[in-house]
Structure 1
Amino acid sequence: MFRSYLRLVLFAVGLLAGVQVPGFIDDYAKRVEAHRSESQQSLQGFRDTAQRFFKGDLDALVAHYRVSNDPVMQSDARSVGNLVQRAALLDEEWQAMQGAWYAQAWHLATGADADLFKETLDAYRYQVLLTPEAIAWGVISALLLAWCVELLTLAIGWVLGAGQTRRTQQRHWR
């Protein structure tokens, strides 16, 4: 009976952990979108200048700043270059978070920006979403966790010889 309750607790823990995944994915996507919007606003004045003098090419604007003899312009070249790189990174992250839920989960697991991931993780508040994706994540996570722990327990028991009776052992030693 205790073992049954232990299984239920394990299943519940897996369920509650699994329903966190869609919430975290959503928080990460919102964080990327907010940073991207801020980045676009920061670059708007430079985009206007690049549109007027360099046919909209921000890289040409940065290159122009870099070759200037004025140290202030050279310093601005570094600053604007960093802004342009950051905007490109955020655009890539935003594009990755526009795909299907499984593509978003894969991106977070394998290729998410480490700083944005950590920032999202630090600010994340546990939540129980009752969306179809959250329920699916929860049930699948619970089943996988329960199944893996059950297999691990059975394997350890088998290695240690649990469940074998003396009669079975005697029969094999004859």
Structure 2
Amino acid sequence: MLRSYLRLVLFGLGLLIGVQWPGFIEAYALRVDAHRQEAELGLQGFRDTAEKFFQGDLERLIAHYRGSDDAVIRSDARSLEHLVQRVELLEREWQAMSGPWYARAWHVAFAADPQLRAETYTGYRYQVLLTPEAIAWGLGAALLLAWLAELLLLSLRRMLVGRPRVSRFS
């Protein structure tokens, strides 16, 4: 009887965890898009300057800033380079979050920017979504967790108790 309740608890836990995943993926995608738009806004003035003087080449603008005799301008070269790298990172993340559902799920779980993922987790508000996608994730996670727990318990039992004897005459 306790084993049945344990199964139900694990199933419920897996269900609750699973229904969070689509919401977390969506929160990550929204955070990436917001950061991307903000970084693009910050870069726009530099893009205009690069367009006016360097045919739109930001790398040439950065090189020009680096070659300046003014220490402030040289310092701005580092800041601008960091901003360009940030925009490129956010653009890659945004492209990854534009793919199919399984690619987004894999990306957030294993390949997402750690800083953005941590920021999303910190700001994430747990919710129970009842969308078909959330229900599917919830049921999948619940079944997987229950199956893994059952497999673990049966393996432990087999190691500790040994194989049950089967009678030839049964």
Q: Tell whether the structures are fold-level matches, with TM greater than 0.5.
A: yes
The one-character-per-residue Cα deviations of 1:25-68 (angstroms, maximum 9, x if unpaired) are: 00000000010010011011111111111111111111111111
Q: CA deviation at 1:102?
A: 0.5
Distance, in Å, in 2 between the alignment partners of 1:159 and 1:90 is 49
Q: Following the alignment from structure 2 to structure 1, what is the Cα–Cα distance between the partners of residues 120 and 109?
A: 14
Rounded to whole Å, the distance in 1 between the matches of 2:124 and 2:15 is 18
Matches within 5 A, 1:82-161: 82-161=82-161
SS in 2 for 1:19: helix
Q: Deviations over 1:76-127 (max 9, x none)?
A: 1111111111111111111111101110111112211111011111111111
Q: What is the DSSP-based 3-state SS (H/G/I as helix, E as strand, rest coil) of the residue aligned with 2:130? A: coil
Q: Find the structure with the greater CA-based Rg.
A: 1
Correspondence for 1:4: 4
Q: Following the alignment from structure 2 to structure 1, what is the Cα–Cα distance between the partners of residues 57 and 130?
A: 45
Q: Secondary structure at the match of 1:36?
A: helix
Report the RMSD for the aligned CA atoms in angstroms.
1.7
Q: Which residue in the other structure is 2:67 paired with?
A: 67
- What CA distance in whole angstroms lies between the structure 2 residues aligned with 1:153 and 1:78? 56
Give ranges in structure 2 of 5+ residues lacking alignment. Answer: none
Determine the C-alpha separation between the residues in 1 that align with 2:4 and 2:72.
71
Report the TM-score when normalising by structure 1. Answer: 0.91
Counterparts of 1:38 and 1:25, CA distance in 2: 20
Deviates most, 124-133 or 2-11: 2-11
Distance in structure 2 (CA, Å) of the matches to 1:154 and 1:110: 30
> Which residue in the other structure is 1:79 paired with?
79
| TM-fit CA distance, 1:138 | 0.5
| C-alpha separation in 1, matches of 2:160 and 2:87 | 57
Instruction: Extract unaligned runs of 5+ from structure 1.
Output: none
TM-score, length basis structure 2: 0.93
How many angstroms apart in 2 are the aligned matches of 1:71 and 1:151? 65
Q: % of aligned pairs identical?
A: 62
CA distance in 1, matches of 2:161, 2:76: 71
Q: Distance in 1 between matches of 2:120 and 2:156?
A: 38
Secondary structure in structure 1 of the residue aligned to 2:129: coil
Amino acid at match of 1:29: A
Find out whether 1:15 has 2:15 as its counterpart. Answer: yes
Q: Could you say what secondary structure the match of 1:126 adopts? A: coil
Give the Å deviation of 1:163.
8.4
